[in-house]
């Protein structure tokens, strides 16, 4: 019996030893598996970061090439000719067009292609490519339009505007903002009454705007929008991704497939105003107790929009204008309808002290423009206020208290504001039933004369926004149901 028991005992210990060995092998295998996963994840993350860095670097080189060609243009427009070039700094320290491409020290190749649109305008395409291995290759393409800005061009007589063309939608989509790129106008709208959110109009013949990409729908309401090269930035009513970037290298082919990237402004559909300087996109949002109201975004790589800085300020930001390193905000603040922000460093933005920015009564600042040493602010209608305000910023970025500002009674909401480059005229979009478009003479305004020199009564609803196209000397007015093009009179 003792031997039997001994034999059983021996088999028992043999089983436990094998079991422990199996445990160890399984443990080692599992450990190795998880170490492998961690290593692979780390490697994948590193590769993703490297590829992202490649694209950002390429975007910077393409942007630099565009600025270099602008510098050549500024020196002498006659230095530009059709063809493919590289850019380099010459012995005199200025940018030059040389060869057919430029090779950076870290292996990126950048070239610029110039195509003449007419005697005074070029389309510029900057392409940067890289090929480091099978996983690290690609290209970034940016476009821009270069005009001969030194050529004198007379501004027409805007004291007598005439209707030049119209795009009418009988469903009254409530059109919002307009931006222009070459032969195309991009127009946003609400979607509550069947609007598409975003429309593309061929305006090669301003008298007959034609909608293209008519199968495209934004799916949500569209608000402000801006074009940079071949990228369209649109503020939308999308709760999760208010900022959208689309590839518009061919506006006729705009579709959801052309979406490059998005960015979510904290909160639910709060973004309302937009401004762009270089590769920094400034976004103003409605007031929130939990999120900021002003954001600076890096859009050098539209597929990877990132946050640079933000400010939590009192009141919502309904409009933004940039001027000489400062942002001028149309605000819902009751004690500061105009807000001035130093945005020289987007990562460290500062609200300026502004003793002259608090206006009488509490109606909101809805539209703002900054040019030629002045700021214009359009407000919502009030019982005891004048809705258009002119501030002087000739002595500093923040308007001073009285004798500034100056006022003009519009007797309606000022929903949009635009101006032409000489600063002679400003244009207002209002919901006055008889004067949806109003033309303001800035010199008369500054010298305390009655500033309105013309107005237009439309039959397509309230004036909702207004844009001036310097290339065509045309004004685009959006209303409830139309995009209207006006030309200066004789």
Residues contacting residue 234 through CB under 8 Å, at least 6 positions apart: 188, 198, 218, 222, 223, 224, 225, 243, 244, 245, 246
Mean pLDDT of 438-465: 96
Residue 6: its pLDDT value, please?
Answer: 45
Closest CA to 431 of 366, 346, 384: 366
Which whole number is the average pLDDT over 251-263?
96
Residue 2: its pLDDT value, please? Answer: 44
CB 82 within 8 A of CB 114: yes
What whole-number distance in Å separates Cα of residue 290 and Cα of residue 308? 19
pLDDT for residue 10 is more than 80:
no
Per-residue pLDDT band at 137 (split at 50, 70, 90): confident
Q: What is the pLDDT of residue 4?
A: 46
Look at 34 and 147; give whichever has higher pLDDT: 147
Confidence of residue 279 (pLDDT cuts 50, 70, 90): confident
pTM greater than the 0.85 cutoff:
no
Element (H, E) at 211: strand 210-212
Greater pLDDT, 452 or 291: 452
pLDDT tens digit string along 295-332? Answer: 999 998 999 999 999 999 989 999 999 999 999 999 99
Which range scores top for mean pLDDT: 5-14, 68-77, 221-230?
221-230
Tell me the two tokens of residue 274. Answer: 């937009």
* 400 vs 297, higher pLDDT: 297
pLDDT band, very low/low/confident/very high, at 138 (cuts 50, 70, 90): confident
Does residue 33 surpass a pLDDT of 70? no
10 against 324, higher pLDDT = 324
Q: Which residues contact 271 (CB under 8 A, 6 or more apart)?
A: 223, 235, 236, 242, 243, 265, 283, 284, 285, 286
12: pLDDT strictly greater than 70: no
Q: Is the pLDDT of residue 43 over 80?
A: no
Is the model's pLDDT at 48 over the cut of 70?
no
Is residue 201 within 8 A of residue 209, CB to CB? The reply is yes
Q: What is the average pLDDT value for the chain, to the nearest integer?
A: 88
The rounded distance, in Å, linking the Cα atoms of 371 and 422 is 9
Is residue 61 classed exposed, middle or buried when 0-12, 13-18 and 19+ CB atoms within 10 A define those classes? buried
pLDDT top residue among 290 and 150: 290
Question: 7 pLDDT exceeds 60?
Answer: no
129 vs 335: which has the higher pLDDT: 129
Residue pLDDT, tens place only, 346-396: 999 999 988 778 888 888 999 999 999 999 999 999 887 899 999 999 889
Higher-pLDDT residue of 25, 45 = 25
Q: How do residues 159-175 score in pLDDT, each as one tens digit?
A: 999 999 999 999 999 99
* Number of residues written out for the chain: 490
Confidence tier at 27 by pLDDT (50, 70, 90): low
Q: How would you write 120-162 as a 3-class SS string? A: CEEEEEEEEEEECCCCCEEEEEEEEEEECCCCCCCCCEEEEEE
**What digits encode the pLDDT tens for the residues 79-111?**
899 999 999 988 888 899 989 999 998 899 999
- Whether residue 32 is predicted with pLDDT greater than 60 in this model: the reply is yes
Q: How many CB atoms lie within 10 A of CB 321?
A: 22
- Measured CA to CA, the distance from residue 475 to residue 183 in angstroms comes to 15
29 pLDDT more than 90: no
Q: What is the secondary structure of 4-32 as a DSSP string?
A: HHHHHHHHHHHHHHHHHHHHHHHHHHHHH
pLDDT value, residue 1: 44
**Band of pLDDT at residue 265, cut at 50, 70 and 90:** very high
Find the radius of gyration of the CA atoms of the chain. Answer: 29
Q: Give, in order, the Cα–Cα distances in Å from 113 to each of 39, 94, 97, 101.
A: 43, 19, 11, 10
pLDDT for the residue 140: 83
Position 18 scores a pLDDT of: 58
pLDDT at 13 exceeding the cut of 70: no
Question: Does 3 score more than 60 pLDDT?
Answer: no
């Amino acid at each position: 019996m003792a031997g039997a028991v001994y034999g059983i005992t021996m088999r028992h210990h043999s089983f436990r030893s094998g079991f422990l060995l199996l445990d160890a092998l399984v443990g080692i295998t599992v450990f190795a598996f998880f170490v492998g996963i961690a290593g692979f994840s780390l490697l994948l993350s590193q590769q993703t970061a490297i590829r992202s860095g490649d694209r950002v670097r390429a975007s910077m080189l393409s942007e630099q090439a565009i600025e270099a060609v602008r510098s050549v243009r500024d020196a002498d427009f006659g230095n530009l000719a059709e063809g493919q070039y590289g850019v380099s700094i010459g012995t005199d320290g200025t940018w030059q067009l040389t060869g057919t491409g430029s090779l950076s020290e870290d292996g990126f190749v950048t070239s610029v292609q110039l195509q003449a649109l007419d005697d005074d305008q070029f389309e510029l395409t900057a392409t940067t490519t890289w090929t480091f291995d099978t996983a690290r290759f690609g290209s970034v393409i940016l476009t821009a339009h270069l005009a001969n800005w030194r050529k004198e061009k007379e501004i027409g007589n805007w004291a007598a505007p005439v209707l030049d063309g119209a795009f009418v939608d009988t469903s009254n989509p409530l059109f919002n903002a307009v931006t222009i790129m070459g032969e195309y106008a991009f127009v946003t709208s609400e979607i509550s009454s069947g609007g598409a959110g975003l429309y593309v109009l061929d305006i090669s013949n301003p008298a007959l705007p034609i909608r293209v990409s008519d199968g495209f729908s934004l799916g949500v309401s569209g608000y402000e929008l801006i074009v940079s090269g071949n990228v369209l930035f649109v503020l939308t009513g999308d709760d999760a991704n208010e900022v959208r970037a689309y590839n518009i290298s061919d506006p006729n082919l705009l579709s959801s497939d052309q979406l490059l990237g998005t960015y979510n402004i904290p909160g639910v559909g709060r973004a309302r105003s937009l401004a762009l300087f270089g590769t920094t996109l400034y976004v103003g949002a409605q007031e929130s107790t939990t999120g900021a109201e002003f954001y600076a975004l890096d859009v050098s790589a539209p597929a990877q929009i990132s946050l640079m800085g933000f400010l939590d300020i009192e009141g919502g930001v309904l409009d933004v204008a940039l001027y000489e390193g400062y942002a001028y905000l149309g605000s819902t603040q009751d004690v500061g309808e105009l807000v001035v922000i130093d945005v020289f460093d987007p990562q460290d933005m500062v609200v300026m002290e502004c003793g002259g920015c608090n206006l009488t009564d509490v109606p909101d600042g809805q539209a703002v423009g900054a040019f030629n040493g002045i700021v214009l602010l359009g407000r919502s209608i009030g019982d005891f206020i004048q809705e258009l305000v002119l501030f002087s910023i000739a002595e500093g970025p923040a308007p001073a208290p009285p004798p500034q500002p100056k006022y003009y009674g519009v007797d309606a909401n000022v929903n949009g504001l635009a101006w032409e480059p000489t600063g002679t005229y400003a244009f207002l979009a209002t919901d006055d039933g008889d004067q949806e478009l109003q033309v303001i003479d800035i010199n008369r305004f500054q010298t305390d004369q009655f500033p309105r020199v013309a107005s237009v009564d439309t039959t397509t609803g309230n004036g909702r926004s207004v844009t001036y196209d310097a290339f065509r000397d045309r004004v685009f007015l959006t209303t409830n149901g139309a995009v209207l093009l006006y030309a200066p009179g004789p």
